[in-house]
Amino acid sequence: MLNQTYQNFELIILDDNSTDNSLEVINRYKDDSHVSHIVVNEENSGSSIKQWHKGFELAKGELAWIAESDDACDVTLLETLVNGYVDNNCVIAFCRSCKYDCEGRKTHYSHQDVLEEDVVMKGSVFISRYMIDRNVVANASSAIFNRRVALAVDKQYMTMQGEGDWLFWIEIMEQGNVSFFLKN
Protein backbone atom coordinates (compact mmCIF):
# COMPACT_ATOMS: atom_id res chain seq x y z
CA MET A 1 0.00 0.00 0.00
CA LEU A 2 3.04 2.23 0.19
CA ASN A 3 3.21 2.34 -3.60
CA GLN A 4 0.16 4.61 -3.98
CA THR A 5 0.33 7.33 -6.65
CA TYR A 6 -0.91 9.72 -3.93
CA GLN A 7 2.02 9.94 -1.51
CA ASN A 8 1.00 12.64 1.00
CA PHE A 9 0.16 10.33 3.88
CA GLU A 10 1.28 9.23 7.32
CA LEU A 11 1.23 5.53 8.17
CA ILE A 12 0.22 4.33 11.61
CA ILE A 13 0.74 0.60 12.12
CA LEU A 14 -1.39 -1.01 14.80
CA ASP A 15 -0.91 -4.61 15.88
CA ASP A 16 -3.60 -6.07 18.11
CA ASN A 17 -1.34 -8.64 19.81
CA SER A 18 -0.91 -10.85 16.75
CA THR A 19 0.16 -14.42 17.34
CA ASP A 20 1.71 -14.94 13.90
CA ASN A 21 4.78 -13.31 12.30
CA SER A 22 3.12 -9.89 12.00
CA LEU A 23 5.71 -8.15 14.17
CA GLU A 24 8.47 -9.44 11.92
CA VAL A 25 6.68 -7.99 8.89
CA ILE A 26 5.86 -4.72 10.69
CA ASN A 27 9.49 -4.18 11.67
CA ARG A 28 10.48 -4.17 7.99
CA TYR A 29 8.63 -0.83 7.68
CA LYS A 30 9.78 0.90 10.87
CA ASP A 31 12.26 3.13 9.02
CA ASP A 32 9.91 4.12 6.19
CA SER A 33 9.45 7.90 6.11
CA HIS A 34 5.65 7.52 6.04
CA VAL A 35 5.56 5.62 9.35
CA SER A 36 4.76 7.91 12.29
CA HIS A 37 3.70 5.29 14.86
CA ILE A 38 3.95 1.56 15.46
CA VAL A 39 1.72 0.46 18.32
CA VAL A 40 1.67 -3.14 19.54
CA ASN A 41 -0.99 -4.08 22.06
CA GLU A 42 0.08 -6.22 25.01
CA GLU A 43 -3.40 -7.81 24.99
CA ASN A 44 -5.79 -8.35 22.08
CA SER A 45 -8.55 -5.72 22.22
CA GLY A 46 -11.09 -8.12 20.71
CA SER A 47 -12.23 -5.47 18.24
CA SER A 48 -10.73 -4.12 15.06
CA ILE A 49 -13.04 -1.12 15.46
CA LYS A 50 -11.33 -0.18 18.73
CA GLN A 51 -8.06 -0.29 16.83
CA TRP A 52 -9.51 2.06 14.20
CA HIS A 53 -10.32 4.60 16.90
CA LYS A 54 -6.83 4.38 18.34
CA GLY A 55 -5.46 5.22 14.88
CA PHE A 56 -7.79 8.20 14.51
CA GLU A 57 -6.52 9.58 17.81
CA LEU A 58 -2.86 9.21 16.80
CA ALA A 59 -3.20 10.63 13.27
CA LYS A 60 -2.43 14.24 12.44
CA GLY A 61 -4.06 14.69 9.03
CA GLU A 62 -7.57 15.61 7.94
CA LEU A 63 -8.28 12.31 6.20
CA ALA A 64 -8.22 8.76 7.51
CA TRP A 65 -7.86 5.51 5.60
CA ILE A 66 -8.09 2.13 7.27
CA ALA A 67 -5.78 -0.10 5.24
CA GLU A 68 -6.43 -3.49 6.78
CA SER A 69 -3.61 -6.03 6.60
CA ASP A 70 -5.53 -8.66 4.64
CA ASP A 71 -6.62 -6.26 1.89
CA ALA A 72 -5.04 -5.09 -1.35
CA CYS A 73 -5.83 -2.17 -3.62
CA ASP A 74 -4.97 -0.51 -6.89
CA VAL A 75 -2.04 1.93 -6.75
CA THR A 76 -4.40 4.78 -7.72
CA LEU A 77 -6.95 4.17 -4.96
CA LEU A 78 -5.93 7.05 -2.70
CA GLU A 79 -5.51 9.47 -5.60
CA THR A 80 -9.01 8.67 -6.88
CA LEU A 81 -10.65 8.88 -3.47
CA VAL A 82 -8.82 12.03 -2.32
CA ASN A 83 -9.70 13.84 -5.57
CA GLY A 84 -13.37 12.85 -5.20
CA TYR A 85 -13.38 13.83 -1.55
CA VAL A 86 -11.90 17.27 -2.21
CA ASP A 87 -13.75 18.01 -5.47
CA ASN A 88 -17.12 17.18 -3.93
CA ASN A 89 -16.57 18.63 -0.44
CA CYS A 90 -17.19 15.24 1.17
CA VAL A 91 -16.90 13.67 4.59
CA ILE A 92 -16.42 10.23 3.02
CA ALA A 93 -15.41 8.85 -0.37
CA PHE A 94 -15.33 5.16 -1.15
CA CYS A 95 -15.31 2.74 -4.07
CA ARG A 96 -16.57 -0.67 -5.07
CA SER A 97 -14.82 -3.56 -3.38
CA CYS A 98 -14.09 -6.94 -4.81
CA LYS A 99 -13.25 -10.28 -3.31
CA TYR A 100 -11.60 -13.42 -4.60
CA ASP A 101 -12.82 -16.94 -4.08
CA CYS A 102 -10.50 -19.85 -3.31
CA GLU A 103 -9.98 -20.45 -7.05
CA GLY A 104 -8.90 -16.84 -7.55
CA ARG A 105 -12.09 -15.70 -9.31
CA LYS A 106 -12.90 -12.04 -8.73
CA THR A 107 -16.43 -11.05 -7.68
CA HIS A 108 -18.06 -7.97 -6.21
CA TYR A 109 -19.99 -7.75 -2.98
CA SER A 110 -23.64 -8.21 -3.93
CA HIS A 111 -24.88 -5.58 -1.45
CA GLN A 112 -23.06 -2.96 -3.54
CA ASP A 113 -25.10 -3.86 -6.64
CA VAL A 114 -27.55 -1.05 -5.85
CA LEU A 115 -24.74 1.36 -6.78
CA GLU A 116 -24.65 1.13 -10.57
CA GLU A 117 -22.70 4.32 -11.27
CA ASP A 118 -20.56 6.94 -9.56
CA VAL A 119 -22.61 8.80 -6.94
CA VAL A 120 -22.17 12.14 -5.17
CA MET A 121 -24.92 13.26 -2.81
CA LYS A 122 -25.77 14.64 0.57
CA GLY A 123 -25.12 12.01 3.24
CA SER A 124 -28.66 11.93 4.63
CA VAL A 125 -30.03 11.19 1.16
CA PHE A 126 -27.34 8.57 0.54
CA ILE A 127 -28.21 6.86 3.83
CA SER A 128 -31.95 6.71 3.09
CA ARG A 129 -31.36 5.53 -0.47
CA TYR A 130 -28.50 3.05 -0.04
CA MET A 131 -27.64 2.35 3.62
CA ILE A 132 -31.05 1.79 5.18
CA ASP A 133 -31.14 -1.99 4.65
CA ARG A 134 -27.51 -2.84 3.87
CA ASN A 135 -23.97 -1.64 4.43
CA VAL A 136 -22.72 -0.64 0.99
CA VAL A 137 -19.29 0.28 2.37
CA ALA A 138 -18.31 -3.35 1.92
CA ASN A 139 -14.75 -2.95 3.10
CA ALA A 140 -13.13 -0.36 5.36
CA SER A 141 -10.05 -0.35 3.13
CA SER A 142 -12.15 1.04 0.26
CA ALA A 143 -12.95 4.33 2.05
CA ILE A 144 -11.34 7.57 3.12
CA PHE A 145 -13.12 9.92 5.48
CA ASN A 146 -12.76 12.99 7.64
CA ARG A 147 -10.77 12.02 10.74
CA ARG A 148 -12.21 14.77 12.96
CA VAL A 149 -15.75 13.71 12.08
CA ALA A 150 -14.84 10.10 12.91
CA LEU A 151 -13.54 11.17 16.30
CA ALA A 152 -16.67 13.20 17.01
CA VAL A 153 -19.35 10.62 16.16
CA ASP A 154 -21.21 8.72 18.86
CA LYS A 155 -18.95 5.93 20.14
CA GLN A 156 -21.79 3.38 20.33
CA TYR A 157 -20.39 1.71 17.19
CA MET A 158 -17.35 0.63 19.23
CA THR A 159 -19.46 -1.41 21.67
CA MET A 160 -21.45 -3.40 19.12
CA GLN A 161 -20.79 -7.12 18.66
CA GLY A 162 -21.70 -6.91 14.96
CA GLU A 163 -22.48 -4.24 12.39
CA GLY A 164 -20.57 -1.55 14.29
CA ASP A 165 -18.89 -0.52 11.07
CA TRP A 166 -22.30 0.01 9.44
CA LEU A 167 -23.30 2.43 12.21
CA PHE A 168 -19.88 4.13 12.00
CA TRP A 169 -20.31 4.83 8.26
CA ILE A 170 -23.84 6.13 8.77
CA GLU A 171 -22.71 8.44 11.58
CA ILE A 172 -20.03 9.89 9.30
CA MET A 173 -22.34 10.19 6.27
CA GLU A 174 -24.84 12.20 8.32
CA GLN A 175 -22.22 14.97 8.59
CA GLY A 176 -21.89 15.88 4.89
CA ASN A 177 -21.50 14.72 1.32
CA VAL A 178 -20.70 11.20 0.14
CA SER A 179 -18.82 10.18 -3.01
CA PHE A 180 -18.91 6.64 -4.37
CA PHE A 181 -16.80 5.46 -7.29
CA LEU A 182 -17.77 2.36 -9.23
CA LYS A 183 -14.10 1.72 -9.88
CA ASN A 184 -10.93 3.50 -8.94
Domain that holds residue 58: 11-181
Mean pLDDT across 105-117: 85
Within a domain: residue 5? no
Sign of CA dihedral 106, 112, 117, 121: negative
Q: What's the confidence (pLDDT) of residue 72?
A: 83
Interval 145-173: pLDDT, tens: 999 999 999 999 988 887 999 999 999 99
Interval 34-60: pLDDT, tens: 999 999 999 988 888 889 999 999 999
Residues 6, 82 contacting (CB under 8 angstroms): yes
| Beta-bridge partner residues of 22 | none
125 pLDDT higher than 60: yes
Q: What's the confidence (pLDDT) of residue 124?
A: 98
Mean pLDDT across 27-33: 93
Within a domain: residue 6? no
Based on the structure, what is the number of domains in the chain?
1
Q: What's the confidence (pLDDT) of residue 184?
A: 56
Within a domain: residue 4? no
> Where residue 19 sits, what CATH number does that domain have?
3.90.550.10
Helices (H), 8-91: 22-27, 48-58, 77-87
Which range among 7-21, 56-70, 95-109 shows the weakest confidence by mean pLDDT?
A: 95-109
Within a domain: residue 92? yes
Within a domain: residue 1? no
Within a domain: residue 86? yes
Within a domain: residue 109? yes
